[in-house]
Chains A and B, each alone.
Chain A
Amino acid sequence: MMTKRKADLLRGTLDLLILKTLTGQSLHGLGISNRIEQITEGIFQIKPGSLFPALHRLEQLGYIEGEWGESENNRRAKYYHLTTAGQRQLGQEKENWSTVVGAITRVLETS
């Protein structure tokens, strides 16, 4: 039970990270997890087992779109980019995040 909830929370956060990462650029799966790792200086290391389910779900929901293309080294890879709906969703998720953070901060400050 506990693990499921933790996964949900993490998934929502992961969605946010992915959407933000894809703002303004197209990346393939590995590229996305590398970028996140880079920006967070190693704190978030997204395993494929979490990444791909999230990616595909976001794709099915219409927030990102995938296209097959060529990577460096001329490998075939699936590149994802943000859709307009995805952009809107990103804005929504950002707001949700601020709300959550604000609430937690308040709790921590009062006690």
Chain B
Amino acid sequence: MLLITRIKSVFRTLFRSRQMEQELDEELKSWIDIRMDRMIADGMPARQARRMALLELGGVEQVKMKVRENRVGTFLDTMIQDLRISFRMMRKDPGFALVAIVILALGIGATSAIFSLVDRQLPFEEPDRLVMGMKTIQGEPANWISRVDYYDFNDLNRSFEELAAVTDFTRIFPETSGEEPVLMKTGFATWNLLPLLGVEPIRGRGFRSEDAEPGAVPTILVSHRLWMEEYGGATDLVGSTLTLSGTPCIVIGVLPRDYRFLVDADVWWLIDREGPWDQGRGSHSHMMVGRLLPDVTMEQAGEDLSAIAAELSELYPETNDEKGVALLSLRSALMFNARPVLLTLLAATVLVLLIACGNVAGLLLARGQVKLPELSVRSALGATRSRLIRLQLTESLLIAGLAGLLGVVIARVLLDLLLNLLPGGMAGLDPPAIGSGVLLFTIGVSIVTGLFTGLIPAVRSSGAGLTGRMNAGSRVTEGARSTRLRSSFVIAQVTFSVVLLVVAGLLINNLVGLARLDLGFDPDELFICGLQVSPTDYSSVEELLGFLDHLLERIQSLPGVESATIANKVPAIDPYQDWGLYATGRPPARPVDGITALARWAPPGYFSTVRMPLLRGRDFEPTDTGDASQVIILSEDTAETLFPDSDPLGQLVTIQFLDPDEFRVIGIVGDGRLNGVRSAPYRAMYMPFARQPSTVMRLIVRAERNAIDLAGPIRNIVRQMDRIVLMVDPTTVEAGLDEQLGGFRIAIIAMSLFAVLALVLTAIGLYGVLAYHVRQRTNEIGLRVCLGATGQDIITSILRQGFLLAGIGLALGIGGAMAAKQLLSTVLSTTGAIDITAWFGALLLFAIVVVIACLVPALRTLRIDPVKALRIE
């Protein structure tokens, strides 16, 4: 009952306030009347009685205000009142409001966009319980795990609900049960991967442990994309049989849309104790992922697995000596490369936001001066200082709130823009969207922005001395303190801008350096694609080699083709596959002390096609076949490491995993960044393609120009061959390198955008302060002109003011930029490029903008009519 009464009261306070006011008026009037009656009855004259009664009451307005303040629901009421007043003020001055909103929206939008990149959620169940495992060699992280080791970890651990393995080597299998072969990218995982992630197929079922038993019928899961695009969403796909590379497999389920985990695959195949990769314990091609048991921490699990690894070291010293295991959260593992860049961007957007806040705060300060008369009136009517501050803050919160709304839109646009430039996204993560987390963040940022921006102006303009400013006629001049505040805002803005500019310049410099990096071969106009032949089509190795020779001949005879070759991997595009090797007869004391080199197979003519320099010895020749094919060409670093004191040519090396394993060195070639443009050059070894012909290979063609145009003609040739050859992923080396730099490039574009935005905002801020200065001292300027000062003098003094502010900001900014450079050392790969150009470029741009921002108000002083200026308003 009571509660209802109270709710009704709040309701009345909010919505029937006028009615309540009227009633109160009547009540107070009645009080006065009754009191007067008594006094008149006692003999007092009417006029005097009235005056006494009013005195006793204490002022109708005062009493009314006290009643109002004590009402239930008064807080809400004042807030709504404030909002209404703020809206009204905004409508009166829409230009200002619009400018402020847009400026803040840009800052908030940029920050939210970057935050959504940083805050990506993993689309799995309880993703914080997921960890990734990698092996360590002598304590150093060394990526892949061996399948055989994985099964031991799986069998012996006590920390994981599930532990699964995934392998990264997507194979492209031709599916031949239809009329035309269809190519399918295949991923490999243990049966328990989907349950571990908490993902359910949308059709059919996932793998079960029985599917991995020896002798089980081969089963596969297909991706949503494949199901829709290749099979039109056919309802009978589940349960049907596809023939992958000659093996019939039953489709048991379809995966959810956009499902990806570490690997972007059309078809998922099972890993079991027999395969498909890593026959031995010493071969490492797998990634390990696990879900921790409810009460186990990552540290505990790490210790558990390390203990198992130690046991394995004892049992299998050949392959597991000094091999350990390290865990990290799945989140960190997936974001690893991007984290520093993203954090840099986030810092940059925060700076931009601060600059924007500075601008709007400056604007509010200036406007606060204009509103002094109004505020004085309010103060006289009894508004307390805190009430006035609250009013001001409501206004800036309102602006910030609207800016936040606009900011969400801007964030979405910015995000789309950035994502278009991002290659492929990161496998396994949801594409970043404006989700609930980001919205909350935006709301939080808007509130903080509003408070931050409005606080100082609010405090300033509600300060003591309001009562003296009530005269509407008094000239509105900016107080000295206000100017100082605005000036310090501008200095701060300049500092932030300088930091952003310099950092952007450094990043750009870095990218340019990377683009011109020496890769060890010539990446220009190099067409590449994958080729796959059917293993059953060839009864002998010679047949296959003969066929490939024929194919290469036809390709080389195409117009515009300089040369063509094949290999198992394309340099800088296809990384990894490093094996151990040593000089024959001098094996390392322990396997872990030896070196590895990237294993590559290439036919004669490969090095001249990719333009990798042959430094010593000779290239492969067609005669290096059969018994004479145990020859090897080493990269310079490999040769120097294995044979520091002797001539490598003619010596024997032993290669891990090969049988027979002894090879004679016949040549030395240059080193290259075979693992990618952002990696260091790595040791390599090349063996004749004829030795290990695979049915899956890479075609590399040097074009005279426009390499990508070769895709069509080559595809035609491939189709016309009399045996099945499948071509996949035609592209160029340049495009591949572009992709590698892709993420980096976005960061730089975003960074540059922010820097420019920051500079523009700062320039506006600087201009604003100076323009105000000019307006304020118009009087003085007029006087000086009359007294004979030349235009030049005036301009110089204005410029001096501006340059002083900019100069202080610049000095602070340079300090900040140097500190930032230190922090960024992880992001800026050391390419040896000189940074002077970056600094110089950034500071030059800055100087130009500052000069313009200062000149405009300075020049405007010339237009001051001294007569007008001297007139007292």
Contact = CB atoms under 8 A, between A and B. Distances in A.
Interface residues of B, number: 29
Identify which of A49, A54, A60 gathers the most chain B CB atoms within 10 Å of its CB: A60
A30 B72 contact: no
B30 A28 contact: yes
B35 interface: yes
A30 B57 contact: no
Contacts of A78: 23, 26-27, 30
A49 B66 contact: yes
A53 B67 contact: yes
A56 to B, nearest CB: 5
Interface in A28-65: 28-30, 47-50, 52-54, 56-57, 59-62
Contacts of B30: 28, 71, 75-78
A49 B63 CA distance: 5
A-side binding surface: helix, strand, loop or mixed? helix
Interface string B61-79: 0110011011110000000
A53 B66 contact: yes
Given A30-B31, A75-B37, A78-B27, A57 B72 contact: yes
Contacts of A47: 56, 58
A73 interface: yes
Given A29-B27, A49-B58, A60-B9, A75 B67 contact: no
A85 interface: yes
B34 A71 contact: yes
Contacts of A56: 24, 67, 70-71
B5 A62 contact: yes
B75 to A, nearest CB: 14
A29 B31 contact: yes
A50 B58 CA distance: 10
Nearest to B3: A62
A48 B64 CA distance: 10
Given A60-B9, A73-B37, A78-B30, A52 B63 contact: yes
B31 A85 contact: no
A49 B34 contact: no
A62 B37 contact: no
Nearest to A34: B38
Contacts of A61: 2, 5-6, 9, 72
B9 A48 contact: no
Contact of A73 (B34, B58, B69): B34
B70 A85 contact: no
Nearest to B13: A60
Given A29-B27, A53-B66, A60-B6, A48 B57 contact: yes
Given A61-B6, A75-B33, A85 B67 contact: no
Nearest to A53: B70
Contacts of B23: 78
A110 B285 CA distance: 85
B28 interface: yes
B638 to A, nearest CB: 80
Nearest to A62: B5
Identify which of A50, A53, A61 gathers the most chain B CB atoms within 10 Å of its CB: A53
Interface in A58-101: 59-62, 71, 73, 75-78, 85
Nearest to A31: B34
A3 B338 CA distance: 58
Given A52-B27, A52-B28, A71-B34, A57 B71 contact: yes
A65 B26 CA distance: 17
A47 B1 CA distance: 31
A48 B63 contact: yes
Contacts of A75: 30, 33-34, 37
Contacts of A85: 1-2, 5
A76 B63 contact: no
Nearest to B4: A62
A75 B29 CA distance: 10
A48 B358 CA distance: 48
A9 to B, nearest CB: 15
B31 A57 contact: no
B27 A62 contact: no
A52 B6 contact: no
A76 B26 contact: yes
A76 B29 CA distance: 9
A91 B27 CA distance: 28
Contact of B31 (A48, A53, A54): A48
Contacts of B12: 60
Contacts of B57: 48-49
Contacts of B27: 29, 52, 77-78
B822 to A, nearest CB: 48
B117 to A, nearest CB: 48
A59 to B, nearest CB: 8
A52 B72 contact: no
Contacts of B62: 49
A48 B34 contact: no
A48 B28 contact: yes
B71 A60 contact: yes
Contact of B69 (A48, A53, A77): A53
A62 B372 CA distance: 42
A57 B69 CA distance: 10
Contact of A57 (B24, B63, B70): B70
Given A48-B57, A75-B37, A76-B26, A62 B2 contact: yes
Contacts of A77: 27, 30, 34
B859 to A, nearest CB: 55
Interface string B44-66: 00000000000011100011001
B39 to A, nearest CB: 12
Contacts of A71: 30, 34
Nearest to B57: A48
Contacts of A60: 5-6, 9, 12-13, 71-72
A89 to B, nearest CB: 9
A28 to B, nearest CB: 7
B58 A48 contact: yes
Contacts of B24: 52, 56
Nearest to A50: B66
Interface in B1-27: 1-2, 5-6, 9, 12-13, 23-24, 26-27
B66 A52 contact: yes
Nearest to B5: A62
A10 B214 CA distance: 88
Contacts of B63: 48-49, 52-53
Nearest to B41: A73
Contacts of A73: 34, 37
A50 to B, nearest CB: 8
B366 to A, nearest CB: 35
B664 to A, nearest CB: 94
A4 to B, nearest CB: 12
Identify which of B6, B34, B37 gathers the most chain A CB atoms within 10 Å of its CB: B34
Nearest to A33: B31
A29 B70 CA distance: 17
Nearest to A73: B37
Contacts of A76: 26, 30
Nearest to B73: A60
Contacts of A30: 31, 34-35
B8 to A, nearest CB: 9
The 4 closest A-B pairs by CB, nearest first: A62-B5, A60-B9, A53-B70, A60-B72
Given A57-B72, A60-B6, A76-B26, 13 more contacts: A28-B34, A48-B28, A52-B66, A53-B66, A56-B71, A57-B70, A60-B13, A61-B72, A62-B2, A71-B34, A75-B30, A78-B26, A85-B2
25 contacts: A28-B34, A29-B27, A30-B31, A47-B56, A48-B63, A49-B58, A49-B66, A52-B28, A52-B66, A52-B67, A53-B66, A56-B70, A57-B72, A60-B9, A60-B13, A60-B71, A62-B1, A62-B6, A71-B30, A71-B34, A76-B26, A77-B27, A77-B34, A78-B26, A85-B1
Interface of A: 28-30, 47-50, 52-54, 56-57, 59-62, 71, 73, 75-78, 85
